[in-house]
Amino acid sequence: MIHTRSFLAALLLAPLAAFFGAPPVVAQDDVITGRVIQGWTLPDGRLVAGIDLQLKQGWKTYWRSPGDAGIPPQFDWSRARNVGSVAITWPTPHVFQQNGMRSIGYKGHVVIPLHIQPRSVGRPVRLRGEMDLGVCSDVCVPHRIDFDTTLDAAASTPVPALAAALAQAPFSRREAGVVAATCALRPLTNGMEVTVRVQMPSSGGAEVAVIEPNIPDVWTSEAETNRSGNWLSATSQMMHTSGRPFAVNRSAMRITVLGSRHAVDIQGCTAD
C-alpha cells in the first residue's frame, strides 16, 4: 500500500514562495500519485522493486541533486522490516530552466528502481517508509509519500516497467568512453572551489555537469560547464552550511554529465 499527502511546512514554503515570487499554497492531493512496483529477486538475494510516480500535467519533481531551484528528495526506511540496505538507481533526469533558474528532475511519469538487501535472504521484505519530495509548477509544495508494501522474495521474473527504468540510468565511465577525470581544489574564504576536467566524447548538445562532493551539510553551486574538443570542464563552489572548514575526498566525488543523447555517471576523480 502506498499513500501520498501534501503538508504545509512553513519553514520550507516561506523561502520557496519568495524564491518563486508567489504566495505559498497547499497542493491538491492529485498533483502526484505513487505506487510501489513489486519486482524480482536477483541470484545474490537482493530484491528489485521500484517507486512509480505519476505527476499531474504541468508539475515536476526533483532528482537527487536538484540544482539551486529544486528540493532534494529524502527517504526514511527506519520503519521497514527485514531491510538491511536500499540502493537507489536514479533514471536520467531532465534539465529545466524557469525564470532564469535551473533545476534538475522529472515530469509526467518516472519509475525509480530500488535494490533492497534483506537482512534475512529468502524471507519477505516489508518496505515501510517515507519519501519527502518537492513538486513544483508555478509554485513549489513539499509532499510526503508513505510506503507500506510487503515484497515477495520468491518472485523471479523481471518486470518490464522496472527493467525499462534501469535501462534509463546514466552510462558508466566505461560505457561513455571516459579516459580521465581530474579534480583541482582551490581554497576560498568561505569554502572551496572545485574544477573538474573530464576527457570523454560529447554526450550531445549543451552538456550540464553536476558535481556532488558527498559531504554532509556541504552546499555545492551550479557548475559552469564548458567543452573544448574531447575535454569537458566544470567549476563549482562548495561551502559548509555552518561555515566551518571541511575536507574533500576525491574518490567520493561524483560527477554526472547530462547531454542530449545520454548521461554519464563518473564516480571518483584524481588530482589535477
Domain residue extents for the chain: 2-167, 173-271
Q: Phi/psi zone of residue 136: left (φ > 0), alpha (ψ -120 to 50 degrees), beta? A: beta
Residues 6+ apart with CB under 8 A from 28: 6, 56
Q: According to the model, what pLDDT value does residue 29 have?
A: 58
User: For residue 172, what are the CA distances in angstroms to 64, 211, 256?
Assistant: 17, 16, 10
- Nine-digit cell string for 135: 513538486
Q: According to the model, what pLDDT value does residue 69 have?
A: 80
N-terminal to C-terminal alpha carbon distance within the chain: 49
Q: Name the CATH architecture for the domain at 2-167.
A: Sandwich (2.60)
pLDDT by 10-residue block (mean), the chain, 272 residues: 42 37 44 93 96 96 92 94 97 91 95 97 93 92 92 90 97 98 96 98 97 96 97 97 95 98 98 88
pTM of the model: 0.87
Q: According to the model, what pLDDT value does residue 30 have?
A: 78
Q: How many CA within 13 A on the CB side of residue 80? A: 25
The stretches of the chain forming alpha helices (DSSP H) are: 10-20, 160-167, 173-176
Q: According to the model, what pLDDT value does residue 6 have?
A: 40
Which fold does the domain 173-271 belong to in CATH? Immunoglobulin-like (2.60.40)
Q: Which candidate, 207, 181, 197, 194, places its Cα nearest to that of 239?
A: 194
Strand partners, 3: 146
Q: According to the model, what pLDDT value does residue 100 have?
A: 82
Q: Which candidate, 263, 61, 232, places its Cα nearest to that of 142?
A: 61
